[in-house]
Structures are given as structure tokens and as C-alpha cells.
Amino acid sequence: MKEATPQTIYLKDYTPFGWQVDSVHLTFKLAPEATRVTSRIRFTPDPAAPAQDFFLHGEELTLIRAAVDGVAVTPEVTPEGLRCAVPNGPFLWEAEVEIAPASNTALEGLYMSNGMYCTQCEAEGFRKITYYPDRPDVMSVFTVRIEGAEPVKLSNGNPGASGDGFAEWHDPWPKPAYLFALVAGDLVNHPDSFTTMSGRQVELNIWVRPGDEGKCAWGMESLKKSMTWDEEVYGREYDLDIFNIVAVDDFNMGAMENKGLNVFNSSAVLASPETSTDANFERIEAIIAHEYFHNWTGNRITCRDWFQLCLKEGLTVFRDSQFTSDMRSAEVKRISDVIDLRARQFPEDQGPLSHPVRPESFQEINNFYTATVYEKGAEVIGMLKRLVGDEAYAKALDLYFARHDGQACTIEDWLRVFEDTTGRDLSQFKRWYSQSGTPHLKVAESYADGSYTLTFTQHTPPTPGQSDKAPQVLPIAVGLLNPNGDEVVPTTVLEMTEAEQSFTFEGLAAKPVPSILRGFSAPVVLDRSSSPEERAFLLAHDTDAFNRWEANRDLAREGLVAMITEGAAPDEAWLDGLQKVIADEALDPAFRALMMGGPSQSELAQVLHGRGITPDPEAIWTASETLRDAKARRWAGLLPRLADEAAVTAPFSPDAEQAGKRALGGAVLSLQTRIDGGAAAEAQFKAADNMTLQLTALSCLVSAGRDEAALGVFERQWSGDRLVMDKWFALQIAATTPDKAVERAEALTRHPAFDMKNPNRFRATLGGLAMHHAGFHRRDGAGYRLLADWLIRLDAVNPQTTARMCTVFQTWKRYDPDRQALIRAELERIAARPGLSRDVTEMVTRMLS
């Protein structure tokens, strides 16, 4: 386990490594408790680098022997690595180390999952495998030999010789160590092939444990779609003879883009209609695409240092969202992305963990795999594309690939290709990478003699370490509608660069209604107090689907705020206007399903806090429930017709059309349950032939309190399927009432199938509790206490997952003094643990400061 060594690393301190690594040969003799790793690495001094000691990273390694040019040496070994005297010219470094994958529960480096060997090296896991300059700017060609009795032995690149008890692999493309991977075990493959745009044949495999072969078809289809899409849209071709994906049950993240050997959390690749929901299918499609796209944006062009993480992640998230938009509905994808951004990135940006898209310092890089780096990083690229236009974006990307292939790059390199292809000066735009916090945008309007002026002011509130903020470049997409509902000015992108700036539209016969920030063209908070009439008008007439959804969300939010703070009744006029939209069969069912939902309770807490009102989780819960009851009553006459429309008679397909219908059906069933007490849900639960229908029905039964029998039936049916049981754990917490959530979560931690060492199961149970807003924030602090107990336990086993889950406390300063005191006490209790990991120490310290 890592000891807490609060050492801060700064971007400004970057220095290149003093040597180039010409080649790496690794031999693994696999054994669960004593794997031997032999390395033979050729180093050549880099004349461009400053003079330095020869230092190799290495953690939790037992050094057996080391040699330089064949002569045994005794390096100075520390907990972080080793130092050694080396010749002035090129030399061969050899080392043999011993590691114990079976006792590696941190799931970083080489570890075991259900008897299978696998690796996770990003960000700094390779140093737990052997001594190496474990930094992304050191790239080399790897040759790997694996010895062991396991029937399947995989590594990066193309297969070489293999035989009884050994397999060799050679990766011709220079890569940093974080992209190294090794997998060995009793695995079976789902094979296929792909012919690239230049006619090369690539062998494709998805490797799974025996018994899971039937759950690979969707992943394979998604992979082939991704390969085609990247050729057609970005001109990027795959570059090895083979592409392997492996499903692993115990994995800290979703998946990892190791060169030619992607390792996936089994939840992000295995799918079947009986065991996976539509959301699972869509997520798998997106993650397979994401990891595959990294082959160019991440692997062929990688990051110079970990501060540049957004260079590969922001761009690749942007690319995978483009892919999903092309495969499914672009409008629904955009709305879903914004819901996610507001739920995960906005709280981060507005709280104690706020950091720039490119952070300038860190203690533990694993703590910076955040929504800011990933999702806001992708938003920044979306803005850049909007500002320069599609054609210029494509030209800049072509130059990026041509100029930087095989290099480890920076954000400066990335922006320079845009400057060089467009002639634009992006120095102000670059603030998006260095300035943290979410800008707030205010709007004033005036109209006289056919001339309409919008005046915007922007302001970014202070964030930790940054009190004074400079104006950002904001692409503001605006459309104007006539009072009769016709669009008079189609979507136009206004480029705002000043703190305050006006834009005038001429020749308008009447004062128009503005539709501002169409498509959510910049990741900002739009502070505009427009009238309910104007919002209802946009809900009815806006041609921009996102802003139509947004107008509805604003109405829902304002209605809920009035219910919470003034005891107002649900806004019946709004519900009637909304009913017309959800009844409109010309609209995509998936879009209508989104329109039927409201802002999350956590989002409402954020809104209230932003207006200087202390959020009361119980009052928010009650208002949300009251509103749902009102929707059910008000729309009771429409629900049966919608249920008919949502019914799917064709054989199951996870495509957007069927998934949209099932989403609409699910939204209808949850309202129907409020009328019939769960009768329809019970019928659906019994008749369901796919997981989406079964799980939706079960969720409705739990929320109606009619769950005893159904939960038991579901458990008996699926006790052998780990991924389905994760849903069973999560759902019974998510769908229950606030008074029961903590007890349920606590009882589930005593269930025989609860396993804290499995990140998916831990997240389903304790993460599930943290996501139940009113249940987690129960007045007596029982939710905080239970979570802190388990975080303390988990830290000794898996610091990375613990640190990530600690972030559920990041919004603590929103709440009342009593709750704040309770949370502070838990954070201090965690911080006081002897031997607390570096990961968790950093997170808790930042949240307490």
C-alpha cells in the first residue's frame, strides 16, 4: 500500500528524461505469489536533456539482480525507485524483480482477477511491474515473452513465436509504459475480422471467461462500427495485424486503451438482451469506440506528461460523442451529455475539488481522472470546432496527425495546429485549459426600430487557488423566433471575448423571442430570468431540440423551487403545455422520455445553494415526489396511449429506435405505478423478456413498496450473473424511500454476494447509497457514517476506487451547519487513519481546506 507522502508535482517543473529507450525486452515467469519479471532495456543518452542521475521508477518490487552491460550492479533502492551509476554512452540495463500479483488488491500493475492475470498501468502502474522510466514521454518498442501454464497469454502488438508454456509478442509502435498490457488465463474468444481502408486484414477477438461467449456479439459489432467510423470521419486506419479486447471482472475503471490489447471492465463489454439494459448497450458501444479511438488520439500521439491528460481524454471523449451522435440521435445524445456534465462536472467545478482542464499540480495523478479533464475537456474541443467551423476543424486534425504522429505532446502543440491552419490567435481561448470554474452568463435585451440587441456579461466565480478570472472566449449559438413562432434568424454563433459584449440584429419586424445557447454551445451557467410565458413559448416552438428541452427544464426547475421554498402547488399550466409535447408522435420517443423527467434532486440542491438558500434534502425529495404524483394525475388519460405507442413487437434490438420506445415506456410505467400501485409494473415484470423491461418494472415495484416477492424472484433468477446482481444491489437502494436507503445499503453489505474487493459491487452498493440524495443526506448522519466506515476499510485494499468515491462528499458545504458538522467529522475521521493512502489523503485534504 502507498504511504501518505504529500509531495506535490508541478507542471512548471517538467524536465525531459535524460535517455532515450531504444528497445525493451520483458520476460514474465507467471506465478500468483512470485512472478519473476526480467527486463533488458537499451538506453542511449539524450543530448537535448539536462544532466541528471539515472533514476528508474519502481514500487513494491523485490529486486533480485541488476546489471549494466552484463556487469552486476547494486543500485540504491528507495520506495519510489532506484538510482544507479551508468556509462556515459549507450548501455544495456538488465534487471530481475519479483512481484505478487495474487496479493495485489489495488488492481494497479499486474494483478489477478478470478484466477486470471491482467494489468492496469495507466497512469503509473508499470512501476509496480518492473523498474522503468514510467512517464508518458518515454516511448519505446516492446517485445514480451510470457511463460506460464495458462492456455491464453496476450500482450501488445502482433503475436510472435509461441509454444508449450510460452508466448511472445512484439509491438512495432513506440509507446509509453502506461500502454503496456499483459493478460493470461483460461479464456475463450469471440473471433471476427476487419478489412481496413487500405485492404489489410485485421484479426479481431473479444476474450472472456468460459460461459460468457454468448455476450460478445454486441461488443464486436460496436468495434467494427468504430473502426469504420474512424476511417470515414477522421481518416484513421488501424495499424496492427490483430486487435484484442479482454473482459475482466475486477477493474477500477471502465476500460483501458492498451495498444492492441484493450482491457475492459466486464460491465463495459459483455451484453445480451436478457442481462443488459438499453443503457448498457449504448454505454458499451460508446466505451468500445472510445478505447478504439485512443489508438490514434492517445497511443500514436500521446501526452508529454500527465498534466496533459485532457489532450488524449478530452479529444477522445469528444470523438466518442460524435460517434454516438452518428449512430443514434444527435439531439438526444447532446441532451444526455449536458445532463451528465451538470450532474458530475458542474459540482466539481463549483466546489473544493475545482481544477483547470489542464491542472498545474497534483499529488496523486489517479485523482485527476475527473469529469473536468474528460467531459469539460471534450466541451472545450466542441467549442473550438464551433468557433473555427467543421472544415477548419478537419484540416487542423489532419495536420495534428501528420505533424505529431509518434510524439508525446502538449496542449500547446494541439492549439498550434489550429492556429497554423486557421491563422487565428488562440491565446485567449487557451484560458479554457488553465482557468477553473464555470462561467456564469447574463443576458439583457433591447429592441427599437427593427433593431434587436443582446448584451451578454460573463463572470466566473472564484475557485480554489484562483480568485481573479479573465473573460473566456464563448461561442454563443443564438436563434431568433417571431412572436408567431417562426424562426426569423437561424442558429448563429456569436463569439464573445469581452467581459461584457453586445450583438445587434437588424431588420426585424417585431421584437423577437431569443433562443440562447442553442445546443449548449458553451459549458456555462446561463443566468437569465425569462418569464414563464417565454419559456412556454420556446417549449412549444423552438426549432433547437436542446433549447426546447432546456426551456422545459427551466420551467420544471422554477416550479420545483417554488414548491420547495414557498409551498407552491405544481404548475398545472406548464404540465398541460408539456403534455402536448410528450403526446406528439412526430417527436422521437427518446426525446419525449427525456422531457418527462425532471432535474435531479442533487441538481436542485445546487440551484438552491446558488441562490443563497440552504437546500433541505427532505423538502427536495417531497417536492419531487409531489410533482411526479401531479404528472401522473394530470396525464392519466394520455398514459395508456403512450404505453401502446412504446410497446415493441419486433424481435429485440438495442438500436436507438427500440431503445427510445422502451425509454418512453419506462417513463410512462413509473407514472402509471403512482396511479395503479404497481399492477402494470407487476404484469411487466412477469412478462419481460429483456433486462430493460424487467429492471424498469422492478424499479417501479420497489418505489411502490411492493418489492418483497419481486426482489427475491430476481435474485434467484440472476444470482449466477455478477453484472446483473450489481443492478439488483444498486436498484433496491436507488428506488427506495429516504428513510430506508441507509438500512438497505447496510443490509446489502452483509449479503453473501457483497464483495468489497470488486469495484463494481462496491460502487453499486455504497455508491448507490451516495446517489440517493435524500437517503444519503439523512438528518442523523447515518448515511455519512456508513459510507465513511466502508471508505476506511476499502482504502487499505484499493486506494484508487476509495479516492474516487470520496468525491461524493465534495458538495458538503451546500448543506446546513448540522449536516456540515456531521460530514466534516467523517472526513476528519478518514483523514486521521494511520497509513491512509496518498490518493485519499489528497482528496480529503482538498475537500477539508
The end-to-end CA distance of the chain, in Å, is: 25
Beta bridge partners of 163: 166
Cβ pair 545, 335 in contact under 8 A? yes
SS (H, E, C) 767-820: HHHHHCHHHHCCCCCHHHHHHHHHHHHHHCCCHHHHHHHHHHHCCHHHCCHHHH
Q: Shortest gap between Cβ of 701 and Zn ion (angstroms)?
A: 37
Residue 586: count other Cβ atoms within 10 Å of its Cβ: 4
| CB-nearer residue toward Zn ion: 134 or 313 | 313
How many secondary structure helices (H) and strands (E) does the chain include?
30, 31
Report the distance separating Cα 663 and Cα 667, nearest Å. Answer: 6
Cβ-proximal residues to 840 (8 Å cutoff; 6+ apart), any chain: 791, 795, 799, 802, 803, 806, 830
Distances (CA, A) of 94 to 87, 112, 774: 14, 26, 57
Residues 284-313 within binding reach of Zn ion (CB under 5 A): 313
| CB-nearer residue toward Zn ion: 2 or 358 | 358
3-state secondary structure of 197: coil
| CB-nearer residue toward Zn ion: 156 or 316 | 316
Distances (CA, A) of 260 to 202, 230, 245, 300, 312: 11, 16, 8, 12, 17
Beta bridge partners of 478: 492, 516
Distances (CA, A) of 211 to 215, 223, 276, 285, 288: 9, 21, 16, 22, 21
Cβ pair 407, 417 in contact under 8 A? no
| CB-nearer residue toward Zn ion: 59 or 313 | 313
| CB-nearer residue toward Zn ion: 295 or 316 | 316
| CB-nearer residue toward Zn ion: 126 or 549 | 126
Report the distance separating Cα 239 and Cα 241, nearest Å. Answer: 7
| CB-nearer residue toward Zn ion: 255 or 745 | 255
Q: Shortest gap between Cβ of 313 and Zn ion (angstroms)?
A: 5
Cβ-proximal residues to 229 (8 Å cutoff; 6+ apart), any chain: 289, 323, 326, 327
Q: Of 141-149, 274-282, 314-322, 641-649, which segment contacts Zn ion by CB under 5 A? A: 314-322
Q: Shortest gap between Cβ of 592 and Zn ion (angstroms)?
A: 32
| CB-nearer residue toward Zn ion: 278 or 313 | 313
Q: Shortest gap between Cβ of 253 and Zn ion (angstroms)?
A: 9
Report the distance separating Cα 307 and Cα 303, nearest Å. Answer: 8
Q: Shortest gap between Cβ of 269 and Zn ion (angstroms)?
A: 15
The number of residues making up the chain comes to 849
Of residues 456, 492, 488, the one with CA closest to residue 477: 492
| CB-nearer residue toward Zn ion: 177 or 620 | 177
| CB-nearer residue toward Zn ion: 316 or 324 | 316
Q: Of 316-324, 337-345, 499-507, 527-535, which segment contacts Zn ion by CB under 5 A? A: 316-324
Report the distance separating Cα 806 and Cα 348, nearest Å. Answer: 12
Active site residue 147: no
Report the distance separating Cα 156 and Cα 168, nearest Å. Answer: 10
Q: Shortest gap between Cβ of 129 and Zn ion (angstroms)?
A: 21
Residues 763-822 within binding reach of Zn ion (CB under 5 A): none
Report the distance separating Cα 254 and Cα 256, nearest Å. Answer: 7
| CB-nearer residue toward Zn ion: 316 or 436 | 316
Q: At what angle do helices 708-718 and 691-703 cross, to 10 degrees?
A: 150
Residues 503-562 within binding reach of Zn ion (CB under 5 A): none
Q: Which amino acid is at 361?
A: S
Q: Shortest gap between Cβ of 369 and Zn ion (angstroms)?
A: 9
In the numeric block, the cell 466506515 is attached to: 789
Residue 40: count other Cβ atoms within 10 Å of its Cβ: 15
What is the per-residue burial (b if ≥16 Cβ within 10 Å, else e) of 547-573? bbbbbbbbbbebbbbebbeeeeebbee
Q: Which amino acid is at 23?
A: S
Q: At what angle do helices 708-718 and 722-734 cross, to 10 degrees?
A: 160
Q: Shortest gap between Cβ of 322 and Zn ion (angstroms)?
A: 15
Of residues 522, 607, 506, the one with CA closest to residue 556: 607
- Interaction mask 267-286, Zn ion, x per CB under 5 A: --------------------
Of residues 815, 760, 811, the one with CA closest to residue 343: 811
Instruction: Pull the grid cell for residue 397.
Output: 486534425
Cβ pair 259, 175 in contact under 8 A? yes
What is the per-residue burial (b if ≥16 Cβ within 10 Å, else e) of 486-507? ebbbebebbebeeeebeeebee
Q: Shortest gap between Cβ of 783 and Zn ion (angstroms)?
A: 32
Q: Shortest gap between Cβ of 248 and Zn ion (angstroms)?
A: 17
Q: Shortest gap between Cβ of 294 and Zn ion (angstroms)?
A: 6
Helix (H) or strand (E) holding 285: helix 278-293
Report the distance separating Cα 258 and Cα 299, nearest Å. Answer: 8
Q: Shortest gap between Cβ of 171 and Zn ion (angstroms)?
A: 19
Cβ pair 309, 247 in contact under 8 A? no
3-state secondary structure of 618: helix
- How many residues form the binding site for Zn ion (CB under 5 A)? 2
Q: Given 3-state DSSP classes, what are the helix, strand and coil percentages for the chain, each rounded to the nearest 5?
A: 45, 20, 35
Q: Single out the catalytic residue among 291, 331, 379, 682.
A: 291
| CB-nearer residue toward Zn ion: 409 or 443 | 409
Q: Shortest gap between Cβ of 324 and Zn ion (angstroms)?
A: 14
The residues annotated with a catalytic role in the active site are 291
Sites of contact with Zn ion (CB under 5 A): 313, 316
